Structure 1
Amino acid sequence: MMTGTLITRMARWIVLCSLLLAALGIEAQQFDPYANIPQSQGLEGFPQLGYPSALVNVIIYGAFDDPATAEFWVGAYRGLLPRVQTGEIRLVFVPLISGGIPGGQLAARSAICAGEQGKFWQYAERLFPLVLGQGAEAYADDVLDSAARDVGLDLGQYQRCASSNTGFAAILEDAEQSAARDAFFTGTPYVKVNESPSLPDGESLNFAIDVQLEAANADLIAELTTPTPDPEATEEAEPLVLEAVTGQDVPPPITLQLPAGWLGGSDVLVLQDVDAIRNIPFAIYTGPVTGGVGTIVLLWGFPNLVVAPSAVQATLPPEMLDLHIDGTRLLRLAVVEQGCNVGTDLRRTYSIGGLQAAGTQFAAVDCPELPDTRGWFAGLRQYGLNFMFYAYAEPIEAMDIAEAELQAILDTVVFTLPETD
């Protein structure tokens, strides 16, 4: 039997695998706040950081020659990065010129040029601390070229771009027009959260983001769960719920092929669910993947707390009903450590043993004790039972390669008819 979340048992497995990885000479990579986060430019040329599926856009009007923007950058801005990594928010930078210190326009143009090589945000990280530390001397000598070398830009491409004002002039004009159209804009830094102005301090920004996320999630749940009248609908199918006995090891009714060095086990989780305390069987498999430790968690035999309306059931195969919402619920209640900053993406379809499953990507960062991680979950119904698979890796960078390795394990899953009395 296991109480609380799965995290304690996971930690034991991870420690064991960490010892194995140490013996194999595999070391965790150094954390890079911008690693693996998509960077792009919008239609106006404004740099963007984060996943396109993020529910909240945080729009920053800033200037590279403005000490107040620099202070915002090294403070509240950096506090937003974990929420970008989890997919909750996407950042947009609108570049303006304040005239606060010399060289601001060239610095802004150079940063936009770095963005053409996917390094705007890393380049800006080199410049803003200089503004705070050196003031009017921040952009003296070859500081801009030195920053380009530091972030690994193609110097020839960068210098050709930085010496031309054609593209940047249009971006700056769009930025100035955007600021002029906003009745609340008074100067940099100015921040909007989904078009709603916010004070630029970290507490105000996080509050505004939470409000927008709550509204977006409420709209999504309402869309998924609002009943549609259907006079000809038949009785809704209910999943079987396994009444697991505490203290009983309940092997899952599946088989799968584990790579060399992987370990597995099963137990029963005593879960304080949203409506009741219930016992849910689970299995956990963990072992080495390229660059770190991979883990697959399986929860099964649990009920659906939000039942899809009959009209929705008519459009989905039985194995995918209701399970996306249940997967999100169980992710927060049972899989990740309490206190983590957890983000999820949009609903999508995955494959478990060649069968369609409903789920999404997730990330958990800033956990009280355990490392950041990301992965995905996918759920389906077989033999009348609900199954939810969670696959993830640590450190978080390992998922770049480990995703394919974890999926290869899930491809070997075979469901077996559970034994009944």
Structure 2
Amino acid sequence: MSSRKELKELRAVNRRRQNYIVVGIIALSAFLFTGAIILPSLLKKNIAIIERPQADYTSMGDKNAKVKVEEFSDFQCPHCGQFALTTESAYVEKYVETGKVYFTFVPFSFMGEASVKSAEAAYCAADQGKFWEYRDQIFGSQLSGDRSSLNRSGFISFAQTVKLEMGSFEECIDNGIHNDKVMNDIAYAQSKGVNATPYFIVNGALVDSSQLEAAIETALQAN
């Protein structure tokens, strides 16, 4: 009788555990589902327009800085968007604002036509002195999961957000004014051995994002 009672109690405990697990799974699923809806919405609504020090077309910082950094990035690359909107600001504050680094963004548009068109649109914004602001809008949309905005209507919406002169912007994107520049960027990246994004060249040395800070520090010490 004792063993039957123990077995019965054990089964009851197991049932309670299973119930707790089911409830936990349901709660976790609800949390993830809610986050999947809310987070993209928040990202869309909170893409801050950040001032870049000595911004010049697709570069920023002191042209005479001892260290030159080139970033190779694709507008459809999630890691590139994360670096641009969450990590880059620390490098700007530590190295660019202090005059130690001259930083240039190079679109490496290897992930398809949407990447190419995004880079063209960003160059059109650069013609009006708004490259960095426009770039952040593209990456913010991409991180929100809204890749459907990487088309003409999305590009126009981004342009309106950063207050571009719309007539010249639309003419620029509609006529592919910067297509040759984007193709040249791709060829340049490949000639330097870049085969992924985001990747960086620090005073001639090719590094990935995990090596960037160490490479900058090494370059600063060497100069």
TM-score scaled to structure 1, two decimals? 0.39
Choose which of 74, 88, 96 in structure 1 pairs with 2:108.
Answer: 96
| Structure 1 unaligned residues grouped into runs of 5+ | 1-30, 42-46, 217-421
Q: Does the 8 A contact of 2:73 with 2:197 survive in 1?
A: yes
State the match for 2:33 in structure 1. Answer: none
Note the 1:5-404 alignment, pairs <5 A: 33-34=50-51, 37-41=53-57, 47-82=58-93, 83-99=95-111, 103-139=114-150, 142-166=153-177, 168-183=178-193, 185-201=194-210, 204-216=211-223
Displaced runs of 4 or more, over 6 A: none
Task: Name the residue aligned to 2:40.
Answer: none
Percentage of identical aligned residues? 25
Q: 2:50 and 2:176 mapped to 1: Cα distance?
A: 30
> Counting strand residues as a fraction of each chain, which structure ranks higher?
1
Describe the superposition over 1:172-209 as per-residue Cα deviations: whole angstroms up to 9, x where unpaired: 222122122123x22221111111112213xx322211
> CA separation in 2, counterparts of 1:165 and 1:64?
17
Q: Does the CA-based 8 Å contact 1:76-1:200 persist in structure 2? A: no
Looking at structure 2, the residues matched to 141 and 191 of structure 1 have their Cα atoms a distance apart, in angstroms, of 29
The separation in 2 between residues aligned to 1:92 and 1:197, in whole angstroms, is 14
1:268-325 superposed Cα distances (whole Å, 9 cap, x missing partner)? xxxxxxxxxxxxxxxxxxxxxxxxxxxxxxxxxxxxxxxxxxxxxxxxxxxxxxxxxx
**Structure with the higher fraction of residues in helix conformation:** 2
Q: Distance in 1 between matches of 2:101 and 2:150?
A: 31
What secondary structure does 2:144 align onto? helix
- 1 or 2 for the larger relative contact order (CA 8 Å, sep ≥6)? 2
Counterpart residue identity of residue 157, structure 2: S
The 1:171–1:39 alpha-carbon spacing in structure 2 relative to 1, beyond 3 Å, is same
User: In the superposition, relative to structure 1, how do residues 125 and 67 fare at CA in structure 2: closer, same or farther (>3 Å)?
Assistant: same
Q: Which runs of 5+ in 2 are unaligned?
A: 1-47
Distance across 2 between alignment mates of 1:73 and 1:122: 11
Give the aligned length: 175
Which whole-Å CA distance do the structure 1 matches of 2:202 and 2:104 have between them? 10
- How far the C-alpha of 1:169 sits from its partner, in A, is 2.3
**Alpha-carbon separation, structure 1, partners of 2:140 and 2:207:** 23
Q: CA RMSD in A?
A: 2.2
TM-score between the two structures when normalised by the length of structure 2: 0.70
- What amino acid sits opposite 2:56 in the alignment? S
